[in-house]
Amino acid sequence: MAATTLLIELGVEELPPGAIDSLSDALADGIHRGLTEAEVDFGEIRAYATPRRLAVQVAELGDKQPDREIERRGPALAAAFKDGQPTKAAEGFARSCGVSVTELVHLETDKGTWLGYRERQQGETTTVLLPAIVDKAIAGLPVPKNMRWGASRVEFSRPVHWLVMLYGSDVVDAELLGLRSGRTTRGHRFHAPDPIELAHADDYLDVLEHAWVLADRNLRRERIREQVLAEAEVQEAKAVIDEELLGEVSGLVEWPVALAGSFDERFLEVPAECLISSMKANQKYFHLLDEKGRLKPLFITIANIDSHEPQRVVEGNEKVIRPRLADAAFFYDTDRKQPLAARIDGLASVVFQKQLGTLADKAHRSAAVAAFIAGRIGGNVAQARRAAELAKCDLVTEMVLEFPELQGIMGRYYATHDGEPAEVAQALEEQYLPRFAGDAIPQTPAGQALALADRLDTLTGIFGIGQRPSGTKDPFALRRAAIGVLNIMIKGELDLNLRELLELAAAQHRDLPYAENLVEEVLGYMLDRFRAWGQDEGIPAEVYLAVRARPVTKPLDFARRLRAVHAFTQREEAAALAAANKRVSNILAKQADEVSRQVDVSQLQEPAEQALYDAVSSSRGRVMPLFAEGRYHEALDILAGLRTPVDGFFDDVMVMAEKDTIRRNRLALLSDLQALFLEVADIALLQQ
């Protein structure tokens, strides 16, 4: 079959920049799915998008479906003929197929012989199939909010003005979104406003680039990056390229041109984070740093036009940013007129959650837990308590109300201005760490105590009112809170008992409707997060299950066990010892009475059981001190040496001996062996 390139382009009014990538990818996925279902051969599918267009290019698209052999099964042969003559069932089946009975065939199956019909169905041409495929793909787009335009009842994210559908050099006849397909596209709104006729689908990117449009999203993004870096070099500065901002700016332009502007140096008296937030959020500017990493009074904007008078464009941007930065300076000056502590009373009017009270209530609860944690980790109890009291005060400042992403950061600035201890000020920012996977954890004891206390308060409170997260809903980000607690304890090497902390956090709440079993429920939920945590470190689920089977409530200890057992599984002896432990577990589980671990040496009759007893006794003396210090890796290396005596025991010794005393003694020996491994994990579960 012949193959050529397909081009589909929807020309629209400016799309929301945050939706462009998802819409573009979804359109390509929909075309891919439709062609696959239609069984039409195709090559690479490329998605293109700008603020004014969504496009898909399909390489080496076949011109038709393959022919198919259709097989229909009719009545069983025994029911199709009687005395050599076709029955009504056979005749009816033949009529439904449009043939005579003589044209039917016999189909042999494992359930007998049936009357059947085979025909070759011609494949449909691709150009006939495409309108329905494209229509279905467009209908499946994740449009944030549909709108109508003019007198039409057609709906889409933005008004659609043109539709290109080219198969090679031929137009695919279709009517979609109220438009008849054609070969006419549009270039840049200002640089190339006239209609452009596309001769062939392969010409798309080149024709648009000559019309001042970079339709390739990745190329446009990288062009912006290169221009920003180059312009920063001209300014003898370092550009900070935020990837999220880069993507957003890429969704705002079709022909990017980087231009550098400046602002009044007096604004540098305002914290850099405030100025950066204002430039990014309001104007989509990239900020610049000097050689010491300090903010320079410069910015880079990306214009959507290659102006003959670029300085006028720069001056326009400078004029716009000036009042924005002035607002930030005003907020900063206004906020500092009263100390952060003066806002504590104001937290009583801000609801955290209607059943859990206000932010003032949360601060009070967190203060008690933070002080306790600080005492356990060698921190300053008073500073941790003070940090918790001030933790949410910056949420009611003008600056954070305008720029919520500055929460914690402004708390640090204002606390420092007020003369609060340096660690208290730092803790106000660190309370939100880690914010995402791989993020840093708090470095100060007060910051660690506050970050843990705040999350534990949220977890116990939300669980306590019965709003446990489901598979799809987690409005209070409890998964992230739980993983944050684990990461702080593990990376910070904090030897804290999670059950103890949850009991304390739960006790700070009053009248929780689901208080019964609350601590165990939250504890289980948090320890279950270790499955995903382990997977991120390349630790398989069976290792997690082996450790989870033990009553471990210290996250740092849990992580050490996970890593040690994972390393143990890489040893040659691991599989055999896991199988042996599985066998031991099965034997002991079948005993009606509890099995003692006291072995009577005088009852050891076989050399193999004596050898196992000696090996277990010797190993216990070496590993118990290691267990006490959490050195599980070294302990398991020692226990790996038990493979030979364990194998010898099961090869040569009958555990369930007829004599009761000998049988009980052998069971006690196995129980003693099992107990050694259970000090780390239930390695029998590694067999799963």
pLDDT at 65: 85
Over residues 85-105, mean pLDDT:
86
Q: Between 148 and 530, whose confidence is greater?
A: 530
Does 139 lie in the same domain as 47?
Answer: yes
Whether 362 is covered by a domain: the verdict is: yes
pLDDT at 357: 94
For residue 76, name the pLDDT band (cuts at 50, 70, 90).
confident
Does 286 lie in the same domain as 389?
Answer: no
In CATH, what number is assigned to the domain containing residue 516? 1.10.3210
Tell me which residue range forms the domain holding 329. Answer: 220-335
Euclidean distance between CA atoms 301 and 284, whole angstroms: 7
Please state the φ and ψ torsions of residue 92, each to the nearest 5 degrees: -65, -40
pLDDT at 207: 97
- Count of Cβ atoms closer than 10 Å to residue 455 Cβ: 24
Whether 247 is covered by a domain: the verdict is: yes
Does 505 lie in the same domain as 428?
Answer: yes
Over residues 292-302, mean pLDDT:
96
Does 182 lie in the same domain as 47?
Answer: yes
pLDDT at 671: 87
Whether 549 is covered by a domain: the verdict is: no
For residue 101, name the pLDDT band (cuts at 50, 70, 90).
confident
Does 81 lie in the same domain as 50?
Answer: no
Euclidean distance between CA atoms 237 and 235, whole angstroms: 5
Separation in Å, CA 447 to CA 2, 9, 419: 67, 53, 17
For residue 294, name the pLDDT band (cuts at 50, 70, 90).
very high
Whether 492 is covered by a domain: the verdict is: yes
pLDDT at 672: 85
Last-in-domain residue among 187, 210, 233: 210
Euclidean distance between CA atoms 296 and 58, whole angstroms: 46
In CATH, what number is assigned to the domain containing residue 50? 3.30.70.260
Does 105 lie in the same domain as 60?
Answer: no
Over its C-alpha atoms, the chain yields an Rg (Å, rounded) of 36
Last-in-domain residue among 210, 235, 251: 210
In CATH, what number is assigned to the domain containing residue 580? 1.10.730.10
Whether 539 is covered by a domain: the verdict is: no
Let me know: does 662 contact 603? Beta carbons within 8 Å.
yes
Whether 165 is covered by a domain: the verdict is: yes
Separation in Å, CA 6 to CA 45, 125, 128, 129: 9, 14, 13, 13
Tokens representing 154?
């057609």
Over residues 613-630, mean pLDDT:
92
Q: Is 593 a residue whose pLDDT tops 80?
A: no
3-state DSSP percent of the chain in helix, strand and coil, to 5: 55, 15, 30
Euclidean distance between CA atoms 246 and 249, whole angstroms: 5
Q: Between 36 and 65, whose confidence is greater?
A: 36
Helix, strand or coil, per DSSP, at residue 551: coil
Share of the chain above pLDDT 90, in %: 70
Determine which of 77-86, 309-318, 324-333, 627-636 has the lowest per-residue pLDDT on average: 77-86
Does 439 lie in the same domain as 463?
Answer: yes
Over residues 568-585, mean pLDDT:
87
For residue 151, name the pLDDT band (cuts at 50, 70, 90).
low
pLDDT at 73: 86
Does 286 lie in the same domain as 366?
Answer: no
The distance of Cα 175 from the centroid of its chain, to the nearest Å, equals 39
Residue in 78, 69, 64, 155 with CA at minimum distance from that of residue 114: 78
Residue-wise burial string across 602-618, b where 16 or more C-beta atoms lie within 10 A, e elsewhere: ebbebebbbbbbebbee
Let me know: does 334 contact 384? Beta carbons within 8 Å.
no
Whether 540 is covered by a domain: the verdict is: no
Q: Is 150 a residue whose pLDDT tops 80?
A: no
Q: Which strand ranges, in their side-by-side order, compose the sheet holding 3-12?
A: 45-50, 53-62, 3-12, 160-167, 170-171
For residue 688, name the pLDDT band (cuts at 50, 70, 90).
low
Q: Is 1 a residue whose pLDDT tops 60?
A: no
Over residues 88-105, mean pLDDT:
86
Q: Is 247 a residue whose pLDDT tops 70?
A: yes
pLDDT at 70: 79
Whether 560 is covered by a domain: the verdict is: no
Separation in Å, CA 64 to CA 68, 121, 130: 12, 12, 10
Determine which of 107-121, 350-364, 463-477, 558-572 has the lowest per-residue pLDDT on average: 107-121
Helix, strand or coil, per DSSP, at residue 345: helix
Over residues 517-523, mean pLDDT:
96
What's the pLDDT tens digit per position in 34-43?
999 998 999 9
Let me know: does 465 contact 532? Beta carbons within 8 Å.
no
What's the pLDDT tens digit per position in 416-447?
999 999 999 999 999 999 998 889 999 999 99
Q: Is 678 a residue whose pLDDT tops 70?
A: yes
Query: Would you call 176 exposed, middle or buried from its count of C-beta atoms within 10 A (0-12, 13-18, 19+)?
Result: buried
Average pLDDT, the chain: 92
pLDDT at 397: 96
Residue in 235, 254, 251 with CA at minimum distance from that of residue 243: 251
Last-in-domain residue among 190, 210, 230: 210
Let me know: does 448 contact 488? Beta carbons within 8 Å.
yes
Does 462 lie in the same domain as 380?
Answer: yes
Let me know: does 86 contact 99? Beta carbons within 8 Å.
no
Over residues 619-623, mean pLDDT:
92
Does 466 lie in the same domain as 380?
Answer: yes
pLDDT at 518: 96
Euclidean distance between CA atoms 473 and 134, whole angstroms: 33
Q: How many domains would you assign to the chain?
A: 5
Does 77 lie in the same domain as 55?
Answer: no
Euclidean distance between CA atoms 238 and 410, whole angstroms: 25
Does 86 lie in the same domain as 57?
Answer: no
Q: Is 148 a residue whose pLDDT tops 60?
A: yes
